[in-house]
Structure 1
Amino acid sequence: MKLIIAGSTGYVGTELVRQALAHPAFTSVLALGRRETPIPPNLSSGVDQSKLKSVVVDDFENYSDDAKKQLAGADACIWTIALTPGKYRSVPPDQGAKICRDYAAYGIETMSNLPRAEGSKPFRFVYFSGSGSERDPAKKPLIMGEYFVLRGDAENRILGYAQKNPGKVEACIAKPGMILSPEKHGVLIHAAIGLGSMVLGFGKIDVRVLVAGLLGQVVDGFEKDTLAPADLERLGKERWEKTKAGGN
């Protein structure tokens, strides 16, 4: 199985690359980003690092012929490219919309139309969103409302495209709460994230557990088109326990 990981240098993307390289179902891991993607640290022993192929794209609304050639034949994509709420505030609204919504909408259309082997299953696309996103503009949240409605609009567009192209593409929206990284976050940050998740009601999840669950969904097929925090926790823990036990 050939997997595209869009946004492969972020800490979620790095964990996706790490676990995908160790997963026997993935024969090729295409790391899509604006710069070269390095081999992630702390790989399991015996992992075939040659499965990783770095695909550099300067404009996510205009893929070069070379990039399309490298991405052709892929079976699935996990899209993590977006802005956090804090970073969204620091860019103009039109730029924020491009990064959080337009790039992904163009990505699923471009990738699902690339040449694939005859008889392939539908192209599987995971859009990495957040538990605070809102698909109904009439229910705009009081805090960071523009941002969360934008993310919800992205979800609508991704799911809408899949609905219009049955048999060709399948889409899933992953809506985790706050994500903990044992490598990136120290004890104090973990505590702050835990407190924030309680106050905001978004929940929290270990990035390793989250990634294990998402990769399992890509391999086995989507349980449903929207995975809420509780779904991701359940699916992730099931897969993470198998991974720690030496299975996938």
Structure 2
Amino acid sequence: MKLIVTGATGFVGAEIVRLALSNKAITSIIALARKPVEAPDNAGPDADTAKLHSIVIEDWMAEYPQSVKEQIKGADACIWNLAITPTKSMNMDFSEVTKVCHGYTLNGIRNMTGVVNEPFRFIYTSGIAVERDQSKNIHTQPLAEYRHMRVYGSLPRAIQSTDVLDQGRTENDLLEFAQHHETGIEVVSTRPGGIEGPGHPFKPEMGPIWKGLGLEDIHVWLHVSQLAAAMIELSVNGFTKDILWPKELVELGNRVISKEDYVS
């Protein structure tokens, strides 16, 4: 199968590429990014680096050039991992965050439709605190404390609650887009919580924040290799629901990858 990966130079995206290079079910990896994507040095002995094709997109809000559409033609799935993380958004104008997280994503799926295979699986990387209900007033709820990130001094600026609602709006718009294409487009949102891995250690001080979200009874943290493996599995074998939470991503990842294969 032919897989499109966006955000392939990031923490999660790079791990998706690394694991996909060794996945026999994937014959081609189209890495869409803002800079060239190279095969990782730690890809492993079973990796087929010839499968990786890097495409640089200059303007993510414009119609994709015909040369790009020729490269993604016939793709079977896309793992959309291009976004602004909550930490990075703290020092950015929110209109720019919206453009990247919402605008780039919707423009991407629109450009892919018509040149990719059907059914086409679109795996969207969302977040654990996303709220799809756009009418819900989260300012008055305990959840707002976490969304504003005012609990710890190490997170000095608020992540506005509209950040989370905007992500929810993106999920809603993706699902609506897919519904208009009947069975041609299939969309799932993965909602990881804390993601640990090389350079991204587990942070026990986040516990009270997760508890404030009512998430203490489910797996919140997962390893980046578990998440990447789970998303690849969704790309290859499909899905039956439109949201996967951390616990489900952990279980799925554990079925297809062992700790020996985690990125080191």
TM-score (norm 1): 0.89
Q: 1:44: how far off?
A: 1.4
CA distance in 2, matches of 1:234, 1:20: 19
Output the CA distance in 1 between the equivalents of 2:137 and 2:191: 17
Distance in 1, Cα, partners of 2:126 & 2:251: 18
**Matched residues in 1 for 2:207 and 2:235: separation?**
27
Contact conserved, 1:77 with 1:125, CA < 8 A, in 2? yes
Q: 2:210 aligned with 1:200, yes or no?
A: yes
Q: Contact 1:8–1:32 (CA<8 Å) still a contact in 2?
A: yes
**How many angstroms does 1:243 deviate by?**
8.5
Is contact 1:4–1:76 with CA below 8 Å preserved after alignment? Answer: yes
Distance 1:29 1:12 in 2: 15
1:98 and 2:99 equivalent? yes
Q: Distance in 1 between matches of 2:126 and 2:190?
A: 6
Q: Is the 8 A contact 1:177 1:197 kept in 2?
A: no
Distance 1:95 1:237, change over 3 A: same
Match of 2:199 in 1: 184
Is 1:11–1:184's contact at 8 Å kept on the other side of the alignment?
no
| Per-residue deviation, 1:223 | 3.0
Partner of 1:130: 127
1:209-228 correspondence runs (5 A): 209-228=226-245
SS at match of 1:224: coil
- Comparing 37-46 with 76-85, which one deviates more in the overlay? 37-46
CA drift at 1:139:
4.0
**1:230, CA displacement in angstroms?**
1.4
State the secondary structure of the residue aligned to 2:258: helix
What does the per-residue CA deviation read over 1:24-52, in whole Å, with 9 as the maximum and x for residues that have no partner?
01100011101100111211103211000
SS of 2:182's partner is coil
Between 1 and 2, higher relative CO (CA 8 Å, sep ≥ 6) is seen in 2
SS of residue matched to 2:234: helix
Q: Is 1:60 paired with 2:60?
A: yes
Distance in 2 separating the partners of 1:88 and 1:237: 31
1:150-191 CA distance string (max 9 Å, x none): 11111111111111111211000000111001x223xxx32x
Q: How many pairs align? A: 234
Give the letter for the 2:57 counterpart.
Answer: V
Corresponding letter in the other structure for 2:199: K
After superposition, what is the alpha-carbon deviation per residue over 1:210-237, rounded to whole angstroms, capped at 9, x for unaligned?
1111111111111311111111111111
Question: Distance in 2 between the 1:95 and 1:162 partners?
Answer: 25
1:93–1:35 CA distance, 2 compared to 1 (3 A):
same
* 1:86 match: 87
Any unmatched runs of 5+ in structure 2?
Answer: 149-158
Q: Secondary structure at the match of 1:130?
A: coil
Q: In structure 1, what is the Cα distance between the partners aligned to 2:110 and 2:188?
A: 14
SS of the aligned residue for 1:22 comes to: coil
Which amino acid letter does the alignment assign opposite residue 44 of structure 2? Answer: S
Specify the alignment match of 1:72 in structure 2.
73
> Structure 1 residues 34-43 or 195-204, which shifts more?
195-204
Q: Which amino acid aligns with 1:26?
A: I
The match for 2:184 is 168
